[in-house]
Amino acid sequence: METNSLTYFNVHWIIWNSLGYGSNYVIWRPLLIVYIVLLHLAFNVGYSFHLGMSIFHNDNFTDDIKNLTTFAVCFAGTLKSLVYAFNFYKIHQMEQMLNLLDSRVSGKEETNIYINLRTQLRNILYGFIGIYMTVGIFAELSFAFQDKRGLMYPAWFPFDWRNSTRNFYIAHVYQLVGIAYHLIQNFAFDSYPAMILCLISAHIQILYARFEQIGLNDRGDAEAQNQLEACITDHKCLLQLFKTMESLFSLPMLIQFTVTAMNVCISIAAFLFFVTDPMGRSYFLFYSMGVPFQIFPTCYYGTDTEFWFGKLHYAAFSCNWTTQSRSFKKKLMLFVECSLKQNTPMAGGMLRIHVATFFSTLKFAYSLFTILLQMQK
Higher-scoring residue by pLDDT: 202, 219: 202
Q: What is the mean pLDDT of the chain?
A: 85
Q: What is the DSSP code (8-state) at residue 347? A: E
- Averaged pLDDT for residues 155-172: 88
Tell me the residue range of the domain where 201 lies: 5-376
Kind plus residue range of the DSSP H or E element containing 2: none
Percentage of the chain beyond pLDDT 70 is 95
The answer, yes or no, to whether residue 296 has pLDDT greater than 90, is yes
Looking at residue 195, what is its pLDDT? 94
What distance in Å separates the CA atoms of residue 346 and residue 207, rounded to the nearest whole number?
Answer: 23
Higher-scoring residue by pLDDT: 1, 42: 42
- Averaged pLDDT for residues 72-94: 90
What distance in Å separates the CA atoms of residue 321 and residue 335, rounded to the nearest whole number?
Answer: 13
Whether residue 178 contacts residue 43, with contact meaning beta carbons closer than 8 Å, is answered with: yes
Looking at residue 1, what is its pLDDT? 57
- Please provide the distance, in angstroms rounded to a whole number, between the alpha carbons at the two ends of the chain: 63
Looking at residue 375, what is its pLDDT? 63
The answer, yes or no, to whether residue 25 has pLDDT greater than 70, is no
The answer, yes or no, to whether residue 304 has pLDDT greater than 90, is yes
Looking at residue 28, what is its pLDDT? 61
- Averaged pLDDT for residues 17-37: 74
User: 3-state secondary structure string, 30-91?
Assistant: HHHHHHHHHHHHHHHHHHHHHHHCCCCCCCCHHHHHHHHHHHHHHHHHHHHHHHHHHCCHHH
Collapsing DSSP states into helix, strand and coil, what is residue 155?
A: coil
222-256: per-residue pLDDT in tens?
A: 887 888 888 899 999 999 999 999 999 999 999 99
170-208: per-residue pLDDT in tens?
A: 998 998 899 889 989 999 999 999 999 999 999 999 999
- If one counts the domains in the chain, the total is 1
State the Cα torsion 260-309-195-92 to the nearest 10°.
Answer: 110
Entry pTM: 0.90
- Residue 272 CB-density burial (10 A; 0-12 exposed, 13-18 middle, 19+ buried): middle
Nearest to 260 by CA among 228, 297, 230, 227: 297
The answer, yes or no, to whether residue 58 has pLDDT greater than 80, is no
